Amino acid sequence: MPKHSVKHPKRLSLDLEEPGKVNEVPELPEVETVRRGLAPVMEGMVIEAVTLNRPDLRMPFPKGFARRLSGQKIVSLGRRAKYLTADLGSGDMLILHLGMSGSFRVEEETVAGKAFHMPRGKQAAHDHVVFLLSSGSRVIYNDPRRFGFMDLISASGIETYPAFSKLGPEPVGNHLSGPVLAERLAGKKVNLKAALLDQQVIAGLGNIYVCEALNRARLSPERLALTLQPEECELLASLIRTVIAEAIDAGGSTLKDYMKADGSLGYFQHSFRVYDREGEACRNPDCHGMIGRMTQGGRSTFFCAECQR
DNA sequence: ACAACCTCCTGGGGGC
DNA sequence: TGCCCCCAGGAGGTTG
């Protein structure tokens, strides 16, 4: 009987267990962080088996999901907006969305440094999908609220895939400029908060980063999108890129810490300027305002009425 | 076409 | 201590 050398499970989750930390919902930076953490574990591996512990998440799994994935090689992991994508050798594409509470953890077990297939691991509450890889690693999807979903399509159909076909530009790199944002906001009779949450305007922003970007740009969440001037669009686009880039960097350092550690997850050191800071001081330079909170579209908006106009 | 809802789900927290 | 109710929100759906 070989002696087991069990590595601690590696968690690629966004759960923040430190007191006082916000439990983040995965937006673009968190999904990108998960992608970077999973890539070295999954890329180049063959999916040997997929276990579904229930027939659906937010939506039913596609017909034959587990069977169709079995034996497929994962060529590369990608991301579009808040979606993870896995290019498979056959030309299929696996699409994963983490919803509100989805997370992955990686379980490995080795004998004398050599991976082998371990018996079915201990199942935690809300472990819905287990990917067994040719390396012996298990990649486990956990999602208490089940707002996530998975789909399997032909990669050639990616352009017409409903969730992707209407997405706005990514707020990274050169995709989002002032003029691009201005064009996207033109004629929109909704407030800025709603406009920026709209994935067709910009892909990948959620409640947290919209609040953060608007605070940095000193723009009121209640401003109608169509009233933004070109220079305001320029500033907002720039600060959206900044907020997202900083969060991705923070996620990267989280992964780095985590890789060094013995399995315990390093947490985001990222501190938000407005999100969940009602009643606290605005952190914008030269602003002595206090962060307030209101409801827009049934969601909380955190903002500074003093400097955001 | 567009805007404003509504719905799915569970854990956690506040009130009594 | 226990129970009830509300809240968090991504995105697809429905209503106006």
pLDDT in tens, A241-254: 999 999 998 887 77
pLDDT at position A263 is: 32
Nearby residues of A43 by Cβ (< 8 Å), 6 or more positions away: A74, A75, A76, A77
pLDDT in tens, A157-193: 888 999 999 999 999 989 999 999 999 999 999 999 9
- Judge whether A3 counts as a catalytic residue: no
Distance separating alpha carbons of residues A162 and A284, to the nearest angstrom: 39
- Judge whether A9 counts as a catalytic residue: no
Confidence of residue A213 (pLDDT cuts 50, 70, 90): very high
User: Where do the DSSP E strands lie in chain A?
Assistant: 5-6, 10-12, 47-52, 74-80, 83-88, 92-97, 103-107, 109-111, 114-115, 127-133, 138-142, 149-154, 291-296, 299-304
pLDDT at position A121 is: 59
Tokens representing residue A156 in the block: 């050639």
pLDDT at position A10 is: 55
* Nucleic strand B near CB of residue A145 (< 7 Å): yes
Element (H, E) at A246: helix A230-260
- Judge whether A82 counts as a catalytic residue: yes
pLDDT in tens, A107-162: 876 555 444 444 455 788 899 999 999 999 999 999 999 999 999 999 998 889 99
CB atoms within 10 A of CB A281: 12
Q: Is the pLDDT of residue A224 over 70?
A: yes
- Judge whether A2 counts as a catalytic residue: no
Q: Give the number of residues written for chain A.
A: 309
pTM of the model: 0.89
User: C-alpha angle A220/A224/A230, rounded to 5°?
Assistant: 85
**Of the candidate ranges A24-28, A29-33, A46-50, A95-99, the one whose mean pLDDT is the lowest:** A24-28
Distance separating alpha carbons of residues A95 and A157, to the nearest angstrom: 12
Cβ atoms of residues A117 and A135 within 8 Å: no
pLDDT at position A264 is: 30
CA A25, C1' C10: Å apart? 9
Nearest-CA residue relative to C1' of B11? A144
Task: Spot the catalytic one: A10, A24, A27, A107.
Answer: A27
* A185 three-class SS: helix
Tokens representing residue A100 in the block: 């509100």
- As separate numbers, helices (DSSP H) first and strands (DSSP E) second, chain A gives 7, 14
* Nucleic strand B near CB of residue A100 (< 7 Å): yes
User: C-alpha angle A293/A297/A300, rounded to 5°?
Assistant: 25
* A110 three-class SS: strand
